[in-house]
């Protein structure tokens, strides 16, 4: 059975998920915004405002999350409605955003060369990371598969060239840290 969500039910469920995200991050002690105000972009990896603003270099990774979640859920749950799949994707993304801002995970990130001063995300940044994932999900729905693959590769390459990091390196460094990648990224951080 595939219950169909009305538009109002889907919007209410999405809003509830965002409310849970905000409440959980607040309970973890994350600030709503960066001290000193809100900016649309923070590109300085060494800045204490990194991961505190509306968007940053890691926003591209969250768009790619949306691509991946769309395809995985399309394959794994073909009978679910699109709104239900999007809500599942949001739940996964929000779950990660909460875990990523737990003290032990923040500490693990600090072991990486580019994240030595990482203090977690502001609530604003975390919510916009979720919005970026929704954008990626929508793009994967609307664009041809080849275009989405090309976009993902272009974003990964662009971010890698610009900051010596991207989704792929971030996951590898977190799961299986290597000294060579650490040293290469540390050169950028100097």
Note the pLDDT tens digit of each residue in 86-126.
Answer: 999 999 999 999 999 999 999 888 877 567 778 899 999 99
- How much helix, strand and coil, in percent to the nearest 5, is found in the chain? 65, 0, 30
**pTM of this structure:** 0.94
Q: Are 116 and 182 in contact (CB under 8 A)?
A: no
17 occurs within a structural domain: no
Structure tokens at 60: 């591209």
Domain that holds residue 124: 47-189
Find, among 135, 126, 119, 67, the residue nearest to 98 by Cα: 126
65 occurs within a structural domain: yes
Angle CA 25–49–163, to nearest 5: 110
40 occurs within a structural domain: no
53 occurs within a structural domain: yes
Q: For the chain, what is the domain count?
A: 1
112 occurs within a structural domain: yes
118 occurs within a structural domain: yes
The dihedral region occupied by 33, where left means phi > 0, alpha psi between -120 and 50, and beta the remainder, is: beta
Structure confidence at residue 2 (pLDDT)? 56
| Alpha-helical regions (H) of the chain | 7-27, 59-76, 82-100, 103-110, 123-142, 145-163, 167-175, 179-189
* Residue pLDDT, tens place only, 5-42: 899 999 999 999 999 999 999 999 999 998 889 999 99
Question: Maximum distance among all alpha carbons in the chain?
Answer: 56
């Amino acid at each position: 059975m595939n219950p169909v969500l009305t538009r109002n039910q889907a919007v209410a469920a999405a809003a509830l998920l965002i409310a849970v995200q905000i409440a959980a991050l607040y309970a973890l002690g994350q600030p709503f915004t960066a001290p000193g105000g809100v900016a649309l972009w923070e590109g300085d990896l060494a800045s204490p405002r990194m991961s505190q603003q509306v968007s940053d270099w890691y926003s591209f990774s969250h768009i790619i999350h949306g691509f991946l979640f769309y395809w995985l859920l399309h394959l794994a749950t073909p009978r679910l409605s699109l709104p239900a799949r999007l809500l599942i994707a949001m739940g996964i993304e929000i779950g990660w955003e909460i875990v990523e801002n737990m003290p032990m995970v923040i500490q693990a990130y600090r072991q990486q060369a580019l994240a030595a001063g990482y203090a977690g995300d502001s609530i604003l940044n975390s919510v916009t990371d979720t919005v970026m994932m929704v954008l990626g999900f929508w793009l994967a729905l609307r664009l041809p598969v080849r275009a989405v693959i090309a976009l993902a590769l272009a974003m990964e390459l662009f971010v890698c060239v610009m900051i010596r990091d991207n989704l792929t390196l971030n996951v590898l460094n977190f799961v299986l840290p290597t000294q060579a990648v650490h040293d290469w990224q540390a050169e950028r951080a100097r």
